Amino acid sequence: MKKSLLALSLLGGVVFAQDKPLDPCGSPKEVFSKYLLDQCYKGYFEAIMEAKKNADEALRLAREANNKAGDLEKRVSSLERTADDHERRIRALEARKPEVPPPPPPAPQPKTEGVGPYKWQLEEVGVVHFDFNKFNIKKSEAKKLDELVNKIKESGREVLVVGFADKRGTSNYNFNLSMWRAQMTASYLAKKGVDIGKIRVAAYGKEVADLLGKDFKTQRAVKIFLVY
């Protein structure tokens, strides 16, 4: 009877023990093998490694951000220095008084000789006209020159012969045409007995044509002056 009870008790203990299986990961005193560590704490290790990886990545990003912030700060500082330099230059330019150019020197006043307040004066004594684009002296104009010859020779003065042209055509061509007209007139006077050494020739082309008159016929002219 006692043996049967003992057997039942042992059997019950075995059954009780089987209802509560041993947990190899639940005891803090358990000595873990590599197998048990992999089985019990693999998830913890992976979580720790993942957390470390994330922390390293966050640290790297933070360092990059810090470097970029430092670079931006340097650029901002450089721009601020440039702006300060420009501002100093602007203030310096604003502080400078504008330089007033010196007045031009007075024009030299010619000495008073002869007639009037100038060194010499001109007296217009005759004018001859020309056809369009021509510089030969017409017969009607030659008579005017013949009438001037005696007056010029009697005055003993130098003679200024100035050629002009109308406003049509280019400036260069009209200047040459004006000079040819003046030379032809001077040559005619010389042939008539005017001292060629006292004849001066000039030309003004089309630029002063309006001073002679508004119509083209009046502008195509040579004027003869006595020089005093």
Q: What is the CATH number for 207?
A: 3.30.1330.60
One domain, residues 63 and 132: no
Q: Tokens 């912030």 — which residue?
A: 69
Low-confidence ranges of the chain (pLDDT < 50): 2-3, 5-18, 110-118
E strand segments, 115-220: 122-129, 158-163, 199-203
Number of other residues whose CB lies within 10 A of the CB of residue 167: 13
223 shares a domain with 127: yes
Select from 182, 178, 177 the least CA-distant residue to 164. Answer: 178
d(CA 115, CA 125): 16
pLDDT at position 55:
82
Contact between 163 and 207 (Cβ < 8 Å): no
CA 38 to CA 26: how far, in whole Å? 14
Query: Could you give the number of structural domains in the chain?
Result: 2
Residues 6+ apart with CB under 8 A from 123: 225, 226, 228
- Residue 110: what pLDDT? 47
Cα angle 93, 96, 98 (rounded to 5 degrees) comes to 110
What pLDDT, on the 0 to 100 scale, is given for residue 102?
73
The secondary structure of residue 132, as a DSSP letter, is T
Domain that holds residue 34: 29-98
Residue 103, in any domain of the structure = no
Considering the domain boundaries, does residue 104 fall inside one?
no
Whether residue 88 lies inside any domain: the answer is yes
Give 116's Cβ-side CA count (13 Å radius): 10
Looking at the structure, tell me whether residues 160 and 207 fall in a common domain. yes
Residue type, 30: E
pTM of the full structure: 0.48
Contact predicate 149/193, CB 8 Å: yes
In 3-state terms, what secondary structure has residue 7? helix
Task: Say yes or no: 72 and 139 in one domain.
Answer: no
Q: What is the pLDDT of residue 188?
A: 93
Say if residue 141 is in the same domain as residue 182: yes
Residues 128 and 85 in one domain: no
Q: Identify whether 191 is part of a domain.
A: yes
- Tokens representing 72 are 């931006």
Which region, left, alpha or beta, applies to residue 83 given φ > 0 means left and ψ of -120 to 50 means alpha?
alpha
